[in-house]
Amino acid sequence: MRILVADDHALVREGLVHTLRELDPAAEIVEADSASAVHAALAGGPGFDLALLDLFMPGVEGFDLFAAVCDRFPELPVVVLSASEEPAHVRKAIDCGASGYVPKSSGRDVMLSALRLVLAGGLYLPPATLAGGDDAAAVPAQAQQLLGSLTPRQREVLRLLGAGLSNKEIARRLGLSENTVKIHVTAILRSLQVSNRTAAVVLARESQ
């Protein structure tokens, strides 16, 4: 396994490397302390099984680095590690394509469980963070309204997306062509007014 760890604090990276050794003692861990170091590590293509990125890195504005990595390497699971637990930051990270969001206040066991879930194709979100905000009570109703616009087949495809299945795996499971699944996924994103699969899964979870 090859893992990219990006944080501008050496002590944080050291702690992460130690924790990641518990995930896979044989893992090759590449460290980056700035946006330029992240780009250099990814210059030859992703070549990583997982990337852990601090949300705000030196040498880049706001979410720009994170969004650029997710956009350039959509198949690379990228997990946010951040001191921020702001619901708006969680949602924006997910909208950009994050596979997980782990607050730095989380314990070692929580982080390991989150990373195992992401590596298995799942999505990790901090429930307490997502529940925050003045409009939290309205979220489930809004989500249910959007989900109600989906056809039964689209809801089935969305359920399998939430289980971490790829288009090819969903096609095999439902006895459909991969192209038909792609059409369903596109329709789901349009109906739910989101830009990527991860955001669609989050919306589905918020409706529960």
Sequence ranges of the domains in the chain = 2-130, 138-206
pLDDT band at 50 (very low <50, low <70, confident <90, very high): very high
Beta strand 50-54 with 28-32 is: unpaired
Give me the mean pLDDT over the 163-170 stretch. Answer: 84
Helix or strand (DSSP H, E) at 17:
helix 10-23
Mean pLDDT of the chain: 83
User: Over the stretch 10-27, which tens digit does the pLDDT of each residue have?
Assistant: 999 999 999 999 988 999
User: Over the stretch 122-141, which tens digit does the pLDDT of each residue have?
Assistant: 778 776 654 544 444 444 56
pLDDT of residue 195: 72
Q: Cα 27 to the chain's mean position, in Å?
A: 21
pLDDT of residue 2: 92
The CA-based angle 131-153-150, given to 5 degrees, is 50
Same fold, 2-130 and 138-206: no
Least confident of 75-79, 87-91, 173-177, 182-186: 87-91
**Which tokens hold the place of 15?**
């702690």
- What predicted TM-score, i.e. pTM, was given to this entire model? 0.67
pLDDT of residue 78: 92
State whether CATH 1.10.10.10 applies to domain 138-206: yes
Given the candidates 3.40.1010.20, 3.40.50.2300, 1.10.1200.10, 1.10.3720.10, the CATH classification of the domain at 2-130 is 3.40.50.2300
Comparing 86 with 7, the larger pLDDT belongs to: 7
Give me the mean pLDDT over the 133-160 stretch. Answer: 72
